[in-house]
Amino acid sequence: MTQFTPSPSHRGRLQLRYLSALLLLGLLALLAACGNNSNSSGGTTTGSNSNTCPSTKQLTGAGSTFDNPLFSKMFQEYPKVNCGINVNYQAVGSGAGINNLLQHIVDFGATDAPMTTDQLNKSTSGPILHIPITIGAVAISYNLSGVSQLKLTGPILAAIYQGKITSWDDPQIKAINSGVNLPHKNITVVHRSDGSGTTSIFTHYLSAISPDWQSKVGAGTTVNWPTGVGAKGSSGVAGQIKNTDGAIGYVELTYVLANNIPYAQLQNAAGKFVAPSLDSAKADAESFTSIPADLRFYIVNGSGDNAYPITGFSWVVVYQNQSNSDKGQALARLLWWMVHDGQQYAQPLNYVPLPDTIVSKDEAQIKAIRCGSSACYSGS
Amino acid sequence: MIQERVSLSKARQQWIRWQRLLRAQRPGDLFFRGITLLFVLIVLGLVAGTAWILISNSLPTIRRFGFSFLTNKAFDPVHDSYGVLPAIFGTLITSAFALIFAVPLGVGASIFLVDFCPRPLRLVLAFLIDLLAAIPSVIYGLWGFLVLAPWLHNNGEPWLQQHLGFLPLFQGQPEGVGYLGAGIILTMMVLPLIISVSREVMLVTPVAQREALLALGATRWEVIRHAVLPFARVGILGGVILALGRALGETMAVTMIVGNQANEPSLSLFTPGYTLASVIANQFGEATPGLFLSAIIEAGLILFIITLITNILARWLIASLQRQAQGRSRGGRL
């Protein structure tokens, strides 16, 4: 049966191969073991424990992509002024950030839509606090050849996104744009295809404006769009609008300002037509005098004269009861810095700085974070 | 009793045969056999594990919606009502579109490469086509989004509507993005696969068969029709299966051009739509635990099942073709 007798050199080579195969398997096993180890040994920290600095040198967060440019800048500056504490932030999306917090993978989450009651109930470590960290606005962008100035109202916007107004020369649009030569052209409605805080703010605005929208479509990071085409990300929506004559879409203000994209003026609750800007978004946030204490609140359609109505918070979410008090102290210090000194980095990056009314509410939230029997934040 | 003893002794014989076989083999062979068996089991385990994860994680929506998940049009996290009918339809229609155009084009191109093309040119062309197959899908997607979709919106779709608008395929508002654009991108992506595979199998057609036909006075076309294609049929079909697999599961490029809108299934190719893969790619990032996440995973499960069914059908088709071919050669026909 065996006519083949291996020569010594051949046999040697065979053995070599077995050896290498074994080595490979061993290596794989080792890798798997290492993977497990690194997961379990994340909590231990070493380092000098001075009087003022917590010994924790590393905090992790995950969530909103909208926050990412601002957070990158903040977390680049923070270690320089505060005990060298590094913050590792992963922009995985608001929903994933919430999931990571619920699974205790990160120390804080960041989200453009407040957690739902359902999500809060999934917490296995007690209550979760919402801390507004910056403010975002959503601009209505369009592409209409020959039209450089466009005014819209909330009800018209809702009708366009429901497919009830389908042409640019619709009498309702003409009525508020006197002097503008609106062409007879189909409106291509563009929306986000991926789940997004931008969508959440926009659909909460439409729900606030139009009862019909609220009952049929509703608001959330993803909705069942009655009409239009979906594009992925802010760049996708902006690209789709740029590509299509007759398109309209919603894009977050930071992206619009950074890329010089045309946007429409929108009628606010006071009846004024307002362009989206950092100032008008801040005016909207300031016009809310009574906000629920848990700060899970949409600040759309504010009452001020200069308020731009499609505006919303972006929140950091943390557990109220921190199990590791040293880490809890580090976290509370970080959050305190973010809502105070950290706000100086907002404006240059086209983010809206928090108005004082919100900062004082944030302070109360941060002071409510508990490390065992005392508050995590020790300053004033 | 007797029967029992007979079967027992049969089992015993089998056992002895096994023992002998094991003894005849040297430990090295045994070890090697064990290792390779382990690899096979790992692969099977991975597939089984995938299926199990998909099923166990989509149980909430399977329990809640049952079959209505397949027929419901809306994918609506706001009202916790989920269905993937538009996505199933979109997956099937874009893949079908891609195969309808890519198969004749691909087979035709490989016939040229094998039978008509001068040898130096063939090498260059074959190299370029293999290169096309290696382009990452996101690049096809970018091209589709930045070049193809605007062109379709401004030129392609209005032209089709003007000249072929009587067909239901080309009715509705031209949007640029939609099933037509996705189908074209998929065609481009699977074409190099089909060409490469068909070229390889056509090249190994026995020369004797070709020459026999030529000796009988057959034309080039007749040689291809009666010698090359029947010989290469099974291999070409294998290439088509690979292509179908890629078309069904393609995510990035399709997401960028399909329009991502859950519309009622319609015959119009201009309709912006969804595919199962693009639903997952779009929604996974913001999906929250509960029904929403479960619905996305069930979409993955359905894609898994569709791929499985098409593969089984294709295997069956190949097997029956092979049987047919064997039967024919036994019957002495050409």
For residue A135, list its beta bridge partners: A313, A352
What distance in Å separates the CA atoms of residue A286 and residue A135, rounded to the nearest whole number? 11
What distance in Å separates the CA atoms of residue B35 and residue A144, rounded to the nearest whole number? 66
Could A223 and B286 be called an inter-chain contact, meaning their C-beta atoms sit closer than 8 Å?
no
Q: What is the mean pLDDT of residues B121-146?
A: 90
Quick check: A46 pLDDT over 80? no
Quick check: A83 pLDDT over 90? no
Residue B287 forms contact with A (CB below 8 Å): yes
Could B149 and A220 be called an inter-chain contact, meaning their C-beta atoms sit closer than 8 Å?
no
Confidence of residue A362 (pLDDT cuts 50, 70, 90): very high
In CATH terms, B84-329 corresponds, of 1.10.3720.10, 1.10.260.40, 3.30.70.980, 3.20.20.210, to 1.10.3720.10
Rg (CA), chain B: 26
Query: Which pLDDT score, from 0 to 100, does residue A39 have?
Result: 38
Confidence of residue B154 (pLDDT cuts 50, 70, 90): confident
Quick check: A115 pLDDT over 60? yes
Query: Which pLDDT score, from 0 to 100, does residue A44 have?
Result: 36
Could B261 and A225 be called an inter-chain contact, meaning their C-beta atoms sit closer than 8 Å?
yes
Alpha-carbon gap: A135 to the closest alpha carbon of chain B (Å): 20
Higher per-residue pLDDT: B156 or B9: B156
Task: With beta carbons less than 8 A apart as the criterion, state whether B273 and B178 touch.
Answer: yes
Residue A303 forms contact with B (CB below 8 Å): no
Quick check: A12 pLDDT over 60? no
Could A225 and B256 be called an inter-chain contact, meaning their C-beta atoms sit closer than 8 Å?
no
Quick check: A338 pLDDT over 90? yes
Give the DSSP letter of residue B152: I
Task: With beta carbons less than 8 A apart as the criterion, state whether A111 and A317 touch.
Answer: yes
What distance in Å separates the CA atoms of residue B117 and residue B125, rounded to the nearest whole number? 9
Quick check: B21 pLDDT over 80? no
Short-list A147, A103, A73, CA closest to A348: A73
Query: Which pLDDT score, from 0 to 100, does residue A5 have?
Result: 47
Which of A222-231, B169-178, B207-216 is the least confident region? B169-178
Quick check: B238 pLDDT over 90? no
Query: Which pLDDT score, from 0 to 100, does residue B298 have?
Result: 93
Residue A233 forms contact with B (CB below 8 Å): no
How do residues A233-254 score in pLDDT, each as one tens digit? 888 999 999 988 999 999 999 8
Short-list A161, A189, A159, CA closest to A175: A159
Query: Which pLDDT score, from 0 to 100, does residue A202 have?
Result: 94
Query: Which pLDDT score, from 0 to 100, does residue A25 have?
Result: 61
Residue A188 forms contact with B (CB below 8 Å): yes
Chain B residues lying within 8 Å of A218, measured CB to CB: 78-79
Alpha-carbon gap: B177 to the closest alpha carbon of chain A (Å): 8
Q: What is the mean pLDDT of residues B309-327?
A: 82
Alpha-carbon gap: A305 to the closest alpha carbon of chain B (Å): 32
Quick check: A35 pLDDT over 50? no
Query: Which pLDDT score, from 0 to 100, does residue A17 have?
Result: 63
Domain residues of chain B, as ranges?
A: 84-329
Confidence of residue A29 (pLDDT cuts 50, 70, 90): low
Q: What is the mean pLDDT of residues A16-31?
A: 59
Confidence of residue B334 (pLDDT cuts 50, 70, 90): very low
Report field, pTM of the whole predicted structure over 0.90: no
Quick check: A7 pLDDT over 80? no
Could A18 and B28 be called an inter-chain contact, meaning their C-beta atoms sit closer than 8 Å?
yes
Residue pointed to by tokens 């874009």: B94
Mean pLDDT, all residues of chain A? 85
Query: Which pLDDT score, from 0 to 100, does residue B20 have?
Result: 76
Mean pLDDT, all residues of chain B? 87
Higher per-residue pLDDT: B130 or B8: B130
How do residues B84-118 score in pLDDT, each as one tens digit? 999 999 999 999 999 999 999 999 999 999 888 88
Quick check: A339 pLDDT over 90? yes
Q: Best residue in B151, B154, B288 to probe A by mutation, most A CBs within 10 Å?
A: B288
Could A230 and B76 be called an inter-chain contact, meaning their C-beta atoms sit closer than 8 Å?
no
What's the sign of the alpha-carbon dihedral B257, B260, B266, B271? negative
Chain A residues lying within 8 Å of B286, measured CB to CB: 93-96, 194-196, 221-222
Quick check: A214 pLDDT over 90? yes
Could B286 and A243 be called an inter-chain contact, meaning their C-beta atoms sit closer than 8 Å?
no
Give the DSSP letter of residue B273: B
Q: How far is CA A8 from CA A12, A14, A15, in A?
A: 6, 10, 11
Short-list B119, B84, B5, CA closest to B303: B84
Residue A102 forms contact with B (CB below 8 Å): yes
Contacts 24+ apart (CB under 8 A), A283-292: A283/A307, A283/A308, A284/A137, A284/A308, A284/A309, A284/A311, A285/A135, A285/A311, A285/A313, A285/A352, A285/A354, A285/A355, A285/A357, A285/A358, A286/A355, A286/A357, A288/A357, A289/A357, A291/A358, A291/A361
CA nearest to A195 within chain B: B286
Could A243 and B150 be called an inter-chain contact, meaning their C-beta atoms sit closer than 8 Å?
yes
How do residues A293-332 score in pLDDT, each as one tens digit? 889 988 998 888 899 999 999 999 999 999 888 899 999 9
Confidence of residue A380 (pLDDT cuts 50, 70, 90): low
Confidence of residue A13 (pLDDT cuts 50, 70, 90): low
CA nearest to B155 within chain A: A244
Which of A187-201, B34-48, B282-296 is the least confident region? B282-296
Could B77 and A186 be called an inter-chain contact, meaning their C-beta atoms sit closer than 8 Å?
no
Residue A243 forms contact with B (CB below 8 Å): yes
